[in-house]
Amino acid sequence: MPRSGTPRPDPGADPAYAALKARIIARTGHHYYIDKDDLLIERLRRRFRASGSTDCAAYAALLSDSAQGEAEWARLEAEITVGETFFFRYAEQFQALRETILPALIEARASERSLRIWSAGCSTGAEPYSLAILVRELLGEALPDWRIAILGTDISTEALATARAAEYGRWALRTMPPEDRLRYFTRLPPAPGIRREGGYALRPEFRTLVRFERGNLLTLTEPGPPQGEVFDLILCRNVLIYFDARTVSAVVRGLSGRLRDDGWLLLGHAEPSPAFASFLAPVSLPGTVVYRRLVEALPPPSAAPVPIFVEAPAVPHGRAHASPEDAAALVLADALPHGQDRAPASRAKPTSEPAGEAPEEADPRAETASSGDIDTIRALADAGETGAAWRALRAALDQDPTDPALRFYEGLLARTLGRDAEAERALRAALYLDRAFVMAHYHLGLLLLGLGRPDEAARALDNAIALSQALGPDTELPEGDGASAGEVAAGAAAARAGLVRGRGADRRSS
């Protein structure tokens, strides 16, 4: 039997919705909602009910009200920001922090005994408190001799209130072993809300290492020199998914300006972006990529194009004279996990180019049948739902196993999941389908660098440089997150130069 009463407002059918949506995106920078009207509408409905607004015009008037507007903006920003987080989220990154980054910083700061860390977009505080636990454990009895400052900032006042209280339900501690819960927390009795099954309060020795402030990362995009304190380590892992590519680049540039020269930057668990190459140097660690501030001038990319090589797929014994179509099918079959259907490669065929000739301009790969799938896969991966992204990818590949873009994202996700062999096969399959796929060359080079195969890495990076230089420097590259050909060429050249420097250091030490 249907409920009686006033029907709930439908912002999507309201003629004032488009203007309200544009205003929200302009104020918050949340370009994430440009193509997600259903999600934004559902969250606006919650604020309509809570504030008593009848339609978009009434709600827009509330936001403009001199007495109540700013408070309502804060509540709306909290509503439209995904605040779900938990302790030690992204295990690979916390392993890198525990085993590499924090020990290196502690050694580098041993003379001054000071460590400054910023958790940007900290939500309800699980990330900065996780860092506090790590720092305390690594320093041990030496902690009283150090000045530790961990700052957590977020745009949501409600999230910050939860962070300052440092009380959490079981869900926020779901990846933590029971013995660690008892070491770091005290038990709380059941209470309404997130503590309905009982809760946990963080122990004071960890809480005192962290302070919280309200902050909007869009202030980092304002012109002028960097303002504010500088940090040894910055984490910004939960916010960038909301911004468009240009805003992401501007925010990350601003974050780099707040790093000390030898500082470290951790971003979300998505692929590294070459758009950062002019001011950050990527560092490949097991299961993740982190960044260091780039303090040396980048060498200019070589002006001479290099031959474009794509290794032919291995042909099983007895098939030495397989046709190009059969060879493509074989490499794609090898890229698929065992047990999956192996569809024949029919969408793209390898082309031949004389070595040394400038490659043709990359196909922009306008809308394809899989573009909606790719948007879904990217959104899931950017939100940290790597498993769901992988399942969506497998379903899309079942429908179109010869789409080079899908193979490219297969490679990125496999690398994120620590499946390096699968990542390499997938990236090589993407390149066999599209030899001019600049981003696949670039990421294959980064992967091979991390695997300790410098000769193959150099070849892939040289390919990325040559292909990028054949395009206009401002050409936006497919699957490049807004990065231009010039930025990718600079990023590949920086990685190439680091490879050369590393070889020189190895020779001197031998």
Residues designated as active site = 43, 154
Q: Give the pairing type, strands 114-120 and 231-236.
A: parallel
> How far is residue 142 CA from its own chain's centroid?
34
**Would you give the DSSP letter of residue 389?**
H
At 56, the amino acid letter reads C
Closest CA to 349 of 408, 434, 409: 434
CB-CB contact of 444 with 423 (8 Å): no
Question: In angstroms, rounded to a whole number, what is the distance separating the alpha carbons of residues 127 and 119?
Answer: 7
Number of separate helices (H) and strands (E) present in the chain: 19, 10
User: And the tokens for 53?
Assistant: 């607004």
Burial class (CB in 10 A: 0-12, 13-18, 19+), 285: middle
* Strands, E assignment, 77-146: 114-120
What distances in angstroms separate CA 251 from CA 14, 143, 307, one per listed residue?
A: 33, 32, 36
> How far is residue 132 CA from its own chain's centroid?
23
